[in-house]
Amino acid sequence: MGNSSRATLVWFRNDLRLTDNPALVWAVERGSAVIPVFIWSPEEEAPWSPGAASRWWLHHSLAALDSALRKQGLRLVLRSGRVLPALRRLIAETGAAAVAWNRRYEPAMVGGDERVRESLRASEIAAESFNASLLFEPGDVRTRAGRPFTVFTPFWKACRTGAPVRAPLKPPGRIAAPTAWPESASLASLELEPRIDWAAGIRAAWRPGEAGAHTQLRRFLKESLGGYAEGRNRPDRSDTSRLSPHLRFGEIGPRQIWHAVRERETLRGGGPARSAAVYLSEIGWREFAHHLLFHFPGISDAALRPEFAEFPWRRGALMRRQLTAWQQGKTGYPIVDAGMRELWTTGWMHNRARMIAASFLVKDLLVDWRQGARWFWDTLVDADLANNTLGWQWTAGCGADAAPYFRVFNPVLQGQTFDPQGRYVRRWVPELEKIPAKWIHRPWEAPRGVLSAAGVKLGATYPRPIVDHALARGRALNAFAQIKRRRGGGER
């Protein structure tokens, strides 16, 4: 195959970009032909194979990457099946002498990466992996005693006072192509898109791919960064970055975001500087999530705090009906329902709404946090195992640096505080559109005339609350007290 006899395979995964891609840069610097490849192998990610919304995004992100590569005279070779045999077949077909990839840090991936590296090197194939998805290697950030951090504030301080975040790598200029290309599966054959098209709302809300990521970053820097510190908790505003799905699929890297935000800081001590620091701490929270999952690989399926293994989560038919109501955005609590409907329609939910909805599930309904984590995993376009796990364990009070279990969000007060005019609720729960702001977060307390004028009939056009929050809060605190008594002590 001409110059492909010394080719380098670049194995793309959750790094679907050309800029700041160290594996791609290394391959180009070898001076031989570059063959980009993506291997669809969901069984190797089990039990956390990509969910439906993630698969939709992946389909379009792969198409965008292939388009970008074709502008460079390349193409993306698609294969499916187990990774190592697929790579070996490609090596045999192309005569490739090297394979480069960017690391993943999920438990199912870490061991697999090492097996691929060892097997290829044993066959005298150069095999190199790089960090493209995190600011810092999870194993490099430790306490003075050499242990993993389990509290965010000292973790983030250690990160910020350590080695500086390196500048992002520029996209390669000219990339050598092979004189002939190996066979590629079609994107459609991977069957990533749903057979029944439920993704219209997601399509309308997002533009997957590296170009879409950069467009979103520019919008955030120009329009929202300055007010992020105050506005990030307001789901009725557009003051968040909405970069999470682009980060999840590596269409943009955290180093690119870090330096872009730093460059945007023009005022020291003012609003923009404070907002930049708050936003970058959210990037730090993402780092912390991956740090925890790397060092405590069991936490995606079990609470980090062992006492929660005995927590009396509810079971039975009523619990299942209430879980379904939560999933469908029909709990009778407007701010919860708005968040869940935004999720179902767009594949994304505002972070404050995520916290409120998650708290309602695990505290008000006493549904096991793993049920919520699974639902988010299947419906979020930014479903990231580390972030998803940390978020749910934080809300449930059973993980590292967790919110105290006795912090039970009141969905009415949360709505009144962070959606005071009800704009977010009106957008996603249109049956309440005409309810005055005074009542929109507690329509069951509204006078009959107000409901009638708004065309709302509780129990018919909009559900009554499926649980009384005050009673549910007491039940949750009693449940927590049970595991404290069983453990014979107070909270750690």
- Residues annotated as part of the active site: 282, 285, 313, 351, 369, 392
| CA–CA separation, 279 and 283 (whole Å) | 7
Q: Is 40 helix (H, G, I), strand (E, B) or coil?
A: strand
Q: Among 289, 491, 326, which Cα is nearest to 397's? A: 491
| CA–CA separation, 491 and 67 (whole Å) | 54
Q: Are 26 and 100 in contact (CB under 8 A)?
A: yes
Q: Is 32 helix (H, G, I), strand (E, B) or coil?
A: coil
| CA–CA separation, 106 and 93 (whole Å) | 30
Q: Is 78 helix (H, G, I), strand (E, B) or coil?
A: strand
Strand order in 126-130's β-sheet? 77-80, 34-40, 8-12, 98-102, 126-130
Q: Which residues pair with 11 in a beta bridge?
A: 37, 101
CA of residue 248 relative to chain centroid, distance:
6
Secondary structure element (H or E) that encloses residue 39, with its range: strand 34-40
| CA–CA separation, 50 and 461 (whole Å) | 35
* Backbone phi, psi, residue 164, to 5°: -65, 155
Q: Which two tokens stand for residue 238?
A: 């557009």
Cα-based torsion angle of the residue sequence 135, 206, 202, 15 in order, rounded to the nearest 10 degrees: -30
Locus of tokens 């559900």: 463
Locus of tokens 């089990």: 46
Locus of tokens 């580390």: 386
Neighbours of 69 (CB within 10 A): 21
| CA–CA separation, 44 and 322 (whole Å) | 33
Q: Is 435 helix (H, G, I), strand (E, B) or coil?
A: coil
Q: Which two tokens stand for residue 35?
A: 């063959």
Locus of tokens 């510190």: 229
